Structure 1
């Protein structure tokens, strides 16, 4: 694409696409799929608005990246939101809230025909969303595009991960998250946001290694899954990372260990609540602890410098709902998204 008339130092134009870039879908090497979905969130709403708010704040991101210079010139383009997906999410969210309310009061959904029917409807709808993401992603990948996903809650990337798996015999996932997301059908929802990695383990055999980083909120069931799948899961718990640092180890040493656990091909799944909640105060399920943004960017840099190939990514749980404070969630989300885009296109020819 001819960029001679585009000034990367000027204000981000609303008439352009993500980050104020002038690319069309045909010109772009990387296509971002927004998925405005939050059906099974178990605490606070708002993540369905993540893609639109990240897009808005992306116009304030400076394009110069000292770690990955001029990567944007290969072209980034975010697809328009699918209104039917948003409408389906809004309706099914109402169904899920009734079910969650019943469970939180000690009720039994199986004893209520109406709620049992709504749970079935939620499970069918979330499966539809996963299949829609798969079809959209698979078609873009067949066209030679790099594909990444912007959620939405953390249930949204399963379809993309399945589509990426069709193109690679084996790969690993680097998961940045406060939660392990290894619950089996949490709250009765097969494709719950809290079950994404459980479903990946079950449905994506090409995913050979799940490396979880920053986990600090999990249950006995998830610990059992980790222990029973030591060949496929390596978890770096937040408390262990902090203890090692308190006792004198550097973040570099820990990052080197994290990177060493990853195979050559890496997909990154970033739940924004992996960060310190001061950086994402409005996310759906904030947890004390977590990382500074610079720590995660340093880890990404070490993955890139290791020669590993990043084959896709998702960014989820950037919530901008009723609990919004100063709007920092989407500001942070836009910068995370830009850094991940840069590293993805920078490794595409490896």
Structure 2
């Protein structure tokens, strides 16, 4: 089923000088967009409650927005896509504060259970894990409600996190618009753990929960994986019809042996269905590009390799229906945000062009 898009007020950019210095009072990429006149809405989800290593991703949307002012609007592959209008929603301060509070609670809880202490023996910790799981339920509903509101207005929707737990509500909303779609997951991890660390909607459980609760997701194709647990490997073996994995090591070994990235990318794309959501965890890239991501792992893609796959998806005639960009860390420099901003711009261009 192809979702029908209603008419919305168009952004008039006839007099906008794309070569001028970006106005910091404007929206993402310096565009004078509003929620009403932009065709593509980027949902700002500053949440990172369940991260299990490094933190900082909840601050990524604001950092990326600032860095985006340095991104030139001319993309040779999609020179006019930006004219469709891209709009990043404001930071919901209440959501951000809730994430910050629950994150501190989660840190205490993770430290407690990591020492082998009994959860049942500590009423405070039992209360803590319950509050965190209730917070995740709240987030999922919040994202779902926001996404459905924009989809019902005929908008294209992307999501900017936060950790990788953030897009679950978006997947739920997409499932009400499409009878079937697939997810291309760019990630160093499989995220197939069941209730990791006791968190029912952990960032490390997003794809497990998706396969369990959203039958409209016909398959998830994971590329760049280089960190996997035994239970995740067994789960993949048990569900070959819905999960496909291209491990980073196997991709590299094929290329070392003379295979081309073009051939490997084509093989990946051939396994995707007609409608595709892109889930881009920035740790799928080589960590030199994203050193402050939550859980960096050696290896990974170059950004231009990922962009090549995006372009080839469009050439194949498949339709990109939405995206999420997650796990961009915020460090002492703006390097992470700069890389994140350029990844976001390409995702916006690809989504807009796929729905022109």
Give the TM bin, normalised by the shorter chain. over 0.9
Q: In the alignment, which of 211, 215, 218 is matched to residue 201 of structure 1?
A: 211
Alignment of 1:72 onto 2:72:
no
Partner of residue 348 from structure 2, selected from 341, 344, 348: 341
- Kindly indicate whether the alpha-carbon contact (under 8 Å) linking 2:42 and 2:160 is maintained by their aligned counterparts in 1: yes
Match of 1:133 in 2: 143
TM-score w.r.t. length of structure 1:
0.98
Map 1:248-259 → 2, pairs under 5 A: 248-259=258-269
Aligned partners of 1:37 and 1:152 also within 8 Å? yes
C-alpha separation in 1, matches of 2:200 and 2:14: 50
User: Structure 2 stretches of 5 or more lacking a match?
Assistant: 1-10
The answer to whether the Cα contact below 8 Å between 2:275 and 2:319 also exists between their aligned partners in 1 is yes
Structure 1 gap segments, 5+ residues each: none
Q: Which residue of 2 aligns with 1:183?
A: 193
Cα distance in 2 for residues equivalent to 1:28 and 1:140: 11
| Match in the other structure for 1:107 | 117
The CA distance in 2 between the partners of 1:57 and 1:327, in whole Å, is 7
Moved more, 166-175 or 66-75: 66-75
Q: Does 1:148 align with 2:136?
A: no
Q: Which residue of 1 aligns with 2:53?
A: 43
Q: Is 2:130 the partner of 1:120?
A: yes
In 1, Cα distance between equivalents of 2:246 and 2:221:
8
* TM-score computed with the length of structure 2 as normaliser: 0.96
Q: Which residue of 1 aligns with 2:313?
A: 303
Secondary structure of residue in 2 paired with 1:175: strand
SS of 2:231 mapped into structure 1: helix
- Are the counterparts in 1 of residues 67 and 334 from structure 2 also a CA contact under 8 Å? no
Cα RMSD over matched residues?
0.8
- Cα deviation for residue 150 of structure 1 reads 0.2
Report if aligned partners of 1:99, 1:109 keep a CA contact under 8 Å in 2.
no
Q: Is the 8 Å Cα contact of residues 43 and 157 (structure 2) preserved in structure 1? A: yes
Q: Deviations over 1:188-238 (max 9, x none)?
A: 000100000001001110000100000001100100111111000110011
Match of 1:329 among 309, 312, 336: 336
Report the more deviating stretch, 2-11 or 185-194.
2-11
Distance 2:182 2:167 in 1: 15
Is 1:167–2:177 an aligned residue pair? yes
1:124, distance to aligned residue in structure 2 (A)? 0.5
Matching residue of 2:26: 16
